[in-house]
Amino acid sequence: MDCADTEPLGEYFDSAGGSGDVTHNRADGFVLSASPSAVSKGEALVLTLENVSAETLETGGYGQFAIQRRTDDGWKHVLSLRRSNFTSIAFRHRPGGGFRWAFTVSERGFSKGQYTMCTPLKPGEYRFVYWGLSGEKAVATRFRIGE
């Protein structure tokens, strides 16, 4: 991957409120899940954000996510930004609605849209963080990548 024209996601993520209150699996009427929860390189990974409330709820944009790897020092970003032009448009989700992301588990597979994976993909525990919830809240779901 060409990482010369990228910036670390961590700097943007933190300044945009993504490092605020991160809750695992459920927050503000939404559930975030990974299927399957354990994958190997080259396999498909699907992440789903679903409105499980009885009301129509709003979120930020589809691209407001991060992928992080658990290290001895906590969660570390594995993605970099090619550009940081996130929109402030609100998306409305009826009950049962939401967003769906599908990736092939690889450096190239995680490099989509404005994101580039500039670090080697190592086996371990990861989490997908959606930081487009209201306020400075984010919801995350964990998944494991094997050999």
- pLDDT digit string (tens) for 101-138? 999 999 999 998 888 898 889 999 999 999 888 776 88
Residue 1, amino acid: M
Q: Phi/psi zone of residue 63: left (φ > 0), alpha (ψ -120 to 50 degrees), beta?
A: alpha
Pairwise pLDDT comparison (87 vs 26), residue with the higher score: 26
Encode pLDDT of 17-43 as tens digits.
Answer: 445 568 899 999 999 999 999 999 999
Q: How is domain 7-146 classified at the CATH fold level?
A: Immunoglobulin-like (2.60.40)
**Mean pLDDT throughout 39-63?**
95
Q: Give the confidence band of 59 by pLDDT, cuts at 50, 70, 90.
A: very high
Residue 16 predicted with pLDDT over 80:
no
The residues, any chain, with a CB within 8 Å of residue 76's CB and separated by 6 or more, are: 10, 68, 69, 70
> Could you give the count of Cα atoms lying within 13 Å of 104 in the half-sphere of its Cβ?
6
Q: Is the pTM of this model over 0.75?
A: yes
Domain locations in the chain? Answer: 7-146
